[in-house]
Every structure is written in C-alpha cells, then in structure tokens.
Chains A and B, each alone.
Chain A
Amino acid sequence: MTWVVVASAVMLGIGAIMALIRVEKGPSVLDRMVGLDVVTSILIIGVALAAALGRRTESISILAALALVGFVGSLAIARFASVEPEDAGRIKSLEEVRAEESALAEAEVEAARLEAEIAASRDDEAG
C-alpha cells in the first residue's frame, strides 16, 4: 500500500504544479480560476489518499466542505468576469507608474484651475 500512496502522491504533485503554472501564466482571470479549480479537486483527491493510508475517518467532512467551497469561488468570478485589456497581466515598470502618477497630478491641478475660473466668473456675474 505504501508505494501505491507514494506513486499517487507524486502524480498528484506533478498535476498540481502544472495547474499552478497555468494559474501563474493566465492570461485571463478565467484561466486562473480553472487552474485553481483543478488545484481544489487535486486537494480533494489528496485528502482522500491521506485518509485511505491511515484509514482515518475524521477527514471525510473536509472532503464534503472542499467539494462545495471550490464551486462558489469560481462561480462568483465567472459571473463578474469583464473584458480585460491585452496587457492586464503585465507588471508595470517604475517609469510607467511615475508617468501615470504625474499625468494624474497634472489633471488634478488643471481641474482645480478650471474650478477656480468658474467660481471667479460667477463672482463677476454676481458683482
């Protein structure tokens, strides 16, 4: 029985690592969700394997919980999936972040100036 458990556990580990590679690569959030679903079911098989090795019965309730919980997460994410830009998974470089921040700051300054102008023109009309 022991070598059967070891062989099964090694195969489960290989499958889980490949699913995690898929989660890391994406490219969309739905691909990642499918990978996490596979990891959840591998977890179910692994808990069943550990229970079978020692003939432990207390982990059966864990199986029931896992079978229900993995489903809720993927359903929620699939329901609210939206159109993502092509490079949504890319990590921005420091220069890009700085450029975006300075553009945002300029826009704020411009908005404040316009607001002040509008307020001034209103004052003129009232006066």
Chain B
Amino acid sequence: MSWVQLSDVVAGVCFLLAGFLTVAAGIGMKRFPGLLGSIHAAAKPQGLGVLLALLGLALRLREVRYVAVLALVGLFQLLTTPVSFHMVARGGYRTGKVDPDHLVVDELIHDLADSANGEAED
C-alpha cells in the first residue's frame, strides 16, 4: 500500500468518525433534557467532528497551502464555539431556562449572591 492510498484510507476513517459524532450529537439533542444537556450533546460535532473532517480533507488534498487554510478554519472553530456556547449557557441561566434540580454543583448562584450582597453594602 502506497502513502497516497494510506492517506486516502485515513481520510475516509476521519469522515466516518465525523459522521458518527454528528449522529451521536443528534441523538443526544433529542434525548437529553434541558438547555445544558443539549449544549453538552451539541459540542461534539462542533469541536472534534469539524476537526476530523478538516483533517480528512487535508489528507485528501495533500498540499501545504490548503492545509494552512484548513488549520485556520479549525482554529476559528475552536475559538468561536466555546464562546458562543458560554454565552448561550449564561443567557439561559440568567433567564431561568436552567432547571436547578438537574445541577449537581451550582457555583454561579453563590457568586451571584456574593455580588448582590457587595452591591447592597456599597
């Protein structure tokens, strides 16, 4: 097996894994309760799935200048996804869409209470 064939096979495996992650995320989004549950399920194809697809495409194209652009796309994805999901979770918590009974640890409520007390003392 030559290197070209091997990189095509690895690219195919990467795409199959990315597809599996999207199916897993879809099942998770249908079954997990609440906003935080669906965020938890949704983060899988957004992070690892996109990175695997970009790796597969890079292995298939096999040219350095395209690989550089694909690395940039992966960097964008890794920078933007946590920020947007953090904002969604924060907005959901502050507008009462997170059920406190589903949380094991809730550190934010103590922080919010502390900051409210601090404002009252001032």
Cα A51 to Cα B73 with chains together (Å): 14
Please indicate which of the listed interface residues A34, A37, A70, A81 has the most CB atoms of chain B within 10 Å of its own CB: A34
Binds B, one of A11-19, A92-100, A106-114, A115-123: A11-19
Tell me which residues from 67 to 86 in chain A have a Cβ below 8 Å from any Cβ of chain B: 67-68, 70-71, 74-75, 78-79, 81-84
Q: Tell me the nearest residue of chain A to B15, going by C-beta.
A: A8
Q: Are A41 and B60 in contact (CB under 8 A)?
A: no
Which of A10, A16, A19, A34 sits near B88, CB closer than 8 Å?
A: A34
Q: Are B92 and A81 in contact (CB under 8 A)?
A: yes
Tell me which residues from 46 to 74 in chain A have a Cβ below 8 Å from any Cβ of chain B: 48-49, 51-52, 55, 57, 60-61, 63-64, 67-68, 70-71, 74
Q: Are A45 and B53 in contact (CB under 8 A)?
A: yes
Q: Are A71 and B83 in contact (CB under 8 A)?
A: yes
**Size class of the B contact interface (CB-based, 8 Å):** 35 or more
Q: Tell me the nearest residue of chain A to B46, going by C-beta.
A: A41
CB distance from A49 to the nearest CB of B (A): 6
Binds A, one of B27-35, B103-111, B113-121: B27-35
Cα A52 to Cα B27 with chains together (Å): 26
Instruction: Tell me whether chain A's interface is mostly helix, strand or loop, or mixed.
Output: helix
Cα A52 to Cα B56 with chains together (Å): 8
Cα A34 to Cα B72 with chains together (Å): 23
Cα A31 to Cα B29 with chains together (Å): 9
0/1 interface trace, chain A 20-56, chain B, CB 8 Å (1 if under) = 0110000010110111011001101100110110010
Q: Are A15 and B22 in contact (CB under 8 A)?
A: yes
Q: Are A48 and B54 in contact (CB under 8 A)?
A: yes
Q: Are B95 and A15 in contact (CB under 8 A)?
A: no
A1 close to chain B: CB less than 8 A:
yes
Q: Are A18 and B70 in contact (CB under 8 A)?
A: no
**Which residues on B sit within 8 Å (CB–CB) of A1?**
8, 12
10 further interface pairs, Cβ-Cβ under 8 Å (given A34-B42, A35-B42): A12-B22, A16-B22, A16-B26, A18-B29, A30-B91, A48-B15, A57-B61, A78-B84, A78-B87, A78-B91
Q: Can you spell out 8 A-B residue pairs with CB atoms less than 8 angstroms apart?
A: A7-B19, A11-B22, A14-B22, A37-B85, A41-B50, A45-B45, A57-B66, A81-B92
